[in-house]
């Protein structure tokens, strides 16, 4: 099998195991990344929500916020894992697809 | 390391976008000149790999989470300019589709993870692996050290951007307008967790794949944007 095909299999395996990125932090009681807190957590940490942060925090409404389906906040981890794997697959295809097209446009025609 | 919207003031966001513009232009020019059509599928996989590895949050028990970026690996295999483009695409998709990293902070996040990280890693790798054979263990070591220094350089740059905010933007009563922690707190928090934990995740990911490719297809280690 060609190396490229094997690397694609590696990506599929990573996508399937991606919910570890949800389960491990939950299991070890780890919170947000430093500097990536939501407004509520910031208020808990410093006692107020900075005005500029409050204004801009929800500037953008992503279609799959936090790699989950909208309205699934607070669902059990099993459900979130399904959304997480779906997000991984969508993200992998989008990234690979866009870079493939960009690369085809940019790269030298002659090998 | 994905700075959300509302953490950086308009000045920092603007400066970082302006800083990235010429980098993106040069990146596309260099890639146009050097990337072979046969390398395009590998670059596409590199972008997808970077995307998915950033989803694998690693916990510090009772503390924060973090992740590898995969940027060192892409830079080692395809050169820093191609890596810059691949990671930029991953970061833009993360911001737009998944709300991971702010859209006002795309410039800053790309500067840290799609510029600082691949370039630092690439030159560290180049310096240490110089003259070694493609299958030597020195190359695996070089990749590991490059990954560690690259990810920590990106964390340092991120910490500085966070830490400058209370200095740049505050109310007359001294309340922060954006990210509230000063430079000392930001440096201490970001650097301790990345030096102790998350840097090593990037090391493991990078070294394992390089080791695997040495067995599977060493020719992939030949090109690296001109590294012999």
Model confidence over B8-52: pLDDT tens digits?
999 999 999 999 999 999 999 999 999 999 999 999 999 999 999
Residue-level pLDDT at B83: 97
Average pLDDT over residues A77-94: 96
Of residues B57, B86, B158, nearest to A21 (C-beta): B57
Out of A14, A32, A62, the one facing B65 most closely (by C-beta) is: A32
- A48 and B158: CB-CB below 8 Å? no
pLDDT in tens, B81-112: 999 999 999 999 999 999 999 999 999 999 99
Domain ranges of chain B: 10-226
pLDDT at residue A111 in the model:
47
Give me the mean pLDDT over the A82-105 stretch: 96
pLDDT of the residue at B228 = 38
Question: How near does any CA of chain B get to the CA of A76, in Å?
Answer: 18
Q: Within 13 Å and on the Cβ side, how many CA atoms surround A56?
A: 21
> DSSP string covering chain B, please?
--PPTTSS-HHHHHHHHHHHHHHHHHHHHHHHHH-BGGGHHHHHHHHHHHHHHTTS-EE-TTS-EE----HHHHHHHH-HHHHHHHHHHHHHHHHHHH--S-STTHHHHHIIIIIIHHHHHHHHHHHHHTT--TT-HHHHHHHHHHHHHHHHHHHHHHHHHHHHHHHHSB-TTS-BSS----HHHHHHHHHHHIIIIIHHHHHHHHHHHHHHHHHH-TTHHHHGGG--
> What is chain B's Cα-based Rg?
18
Average pLDDT of A66-89? 91
Q: Which residues pair with B36 in a beta bridge?
A: A108
**What are the sequence ranges of the domains in chain A?**
3-34+67-106
Separation of alpha carbons B184 and A63, rounded Å: 36
Give the closest-approach CA distance of A79 to chain B in angstroms.
17
Contact A64 B213 (CB under 8 A): no
Instruction: Kindly tell me the burial class for residue B36, based on how many C-beta atoms sit within 10 Å of its own C-beta (0-12, 13-18, 19 or more).
Output: middle
Strands B65-66 and B58-59: antiparallel
pLDDT range class, residue A74, cuts 50, 70, 90: confident
Work out the pLDDT band at A72, boundaries 50, 70, 90: confident
Which residue of chain B is at minimal alpha-carbon distance from A89?
B52
The tens digit of pLDDT for each residue in B57-89 reads 999 999 999 999 999 999 999 999 999 999 999
- Provide the mean pLDDT of chain A: 92
Task: Identify which of B151, B146, B153, B180 has the alpha carbon closest to the alpha carbon of residue B164.
Answer: B180
Q: What is the pLDDT of residues A35-54, one digit of tens each?
A: 999 989 999 999 999 999 99
Is B5's pLDDT higher than 80?
yes
Confidence of residue B202 (pLDDT cuts 50, 70, 90): very high
Report yes or no: B46 and B70 within 8 Å, Cβ to Cβ: yes
pLDDT of A106 = 87
Taking Cα atoms as reference points, which of B202, B5, B11 lies closest to residue B100?
B5
| Beta carbons of B53 and A100 less than 8 Å apart | no
Q: With bands split at pLDDT 50, 70 and 90, how would you rate the model's confidence at B224?
A: low
Query: Tell me: the pLDDT tens digits for B137-157?
Result: 999 999 999 999 999 999 999
Architecture of domain B10-226: Orthogonal Bundle (1.10)
Which structure tokens are listed for B107? Answer: 């410039």
User: CB–CB of A92 and B39 under 8 A?
Assistant: no
Q: Which residue of B has its CA nearest to A48?
A: B175
Q: For residue B33, with 0-12 CB atoms within 10 Å meaning exposed, 13-18 middle and 19 or more buried, which class applies? A: exposed
Residues of chain B contacting residue A27, judged by C-beta atoms under 8 Å apart: 59
Q: What is the mean pLDDT of residues B172-177?
A: 91
Q: Helices B117-129 and B80-98, interaxial angle, to 10°?
A: 150
The two tokens of residue B228 are 């012999």
Residue B227 has pLDDT above 60, yes or no: no
Q: Is the pLDDT of residue B134 over 90?
A: yes
Give the relative orientation of helices B199-216 and A3-17 as an angle to the nearest 10 degrees: 150
B chain contacts of residue A60, beta-carbon cutoff 8 Å:
5, 95-96, 99, 102-103
Q: Do A29 and B45 touch (CB under 8 A)?
A: no
How many angstroms separate the CA of residue B227 from the nearest CA in chain A?
Answer: 18
Within 8 A of A57 by CB-CB distance, chain B residues are 4-6
B136, B45 contact by CB (below 8 A): no
pTM: 0.95
DSSP class of A95: H
For range B171-190, the mean pLDDT: 94
Are the beta carbons of A52 and B62 separated by less than 8 Å? no
HEC string for A41-83: HHHHHHCCCCHHHHHHCCCCCCCCHHHCCCCCCCCCHHHHHHH
Nearest CB to A91 within list B56, B93, B189: B93
- Of A3, A21, A62, Cβ closest to residue B216: A3
């Amino acid at each position: 099998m060609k190396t490229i095909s094997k690397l694609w299999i590696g990506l599929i395996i990573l996508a399937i195991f991606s919910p570890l990125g949800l389960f491990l932090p939950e299991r070890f009681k780890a919170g947000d990344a430093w500097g990536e807190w939501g407004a509520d957590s910031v208020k808990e940490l410093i006692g107020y929500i900075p005005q500029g942060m409050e204004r801009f925090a929800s500037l953008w409404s992503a279609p799959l916020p936090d790699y989950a389906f909208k309205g699934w906040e607070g669902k059990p981890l099993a459900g979130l894992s399904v959304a997480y794997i779906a997000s991984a697959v969508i993200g992998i295809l989008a990234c690979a697809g866009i870079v493939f097209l960009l690369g085809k446009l940019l790269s030298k025609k002659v090998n | 390391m994905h700075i959300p919207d509302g953490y950086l003031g308009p000045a920092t966001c603007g400066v970082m976008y302006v800083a990235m513009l010429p980098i993106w232009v040069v990146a596309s020019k260099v890639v146009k000149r050097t990337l072979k059509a046969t390398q395009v599928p590998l670059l596409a996989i590199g972008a997808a790999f970077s995307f998915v590895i950033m989803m694998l949050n690693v916990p510090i028990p009772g503390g924060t989470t973090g992740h590898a970026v995969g940027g060192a690996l892409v830079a080692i295999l395809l050169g820093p300019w191609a890596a810059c483009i691949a990671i930029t695409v991953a970061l833009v998709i993360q911001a737009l589709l998944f709300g991971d990293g702010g859209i006002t902070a795309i410039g800053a996040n790309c500067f840290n993870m799609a510029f600082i990280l691949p370039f630092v890693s690439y030159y560290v790798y180049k310096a240490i692996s110089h003259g070694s054979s493609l299958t030597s263990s020195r190359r695996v070591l070089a990749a590991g050290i490059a990954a560690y220094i690259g990810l920590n350089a990106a964390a340092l740059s991120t910490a500085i951007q966070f830490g400058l905010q209370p200095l740049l933007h505050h109310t007359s009563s001294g309340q922060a307008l954006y990210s509230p922690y000063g430079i000392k707190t930001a440096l201490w928090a970001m650097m301790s967790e990345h030096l102790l934990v998350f840097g090593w995740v990037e090391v493991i990911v990078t070294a394992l794949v390089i080791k695997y490719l040495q067995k599977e297809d060493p020719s992939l280690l030949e090109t690296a944007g001109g590294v012999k």
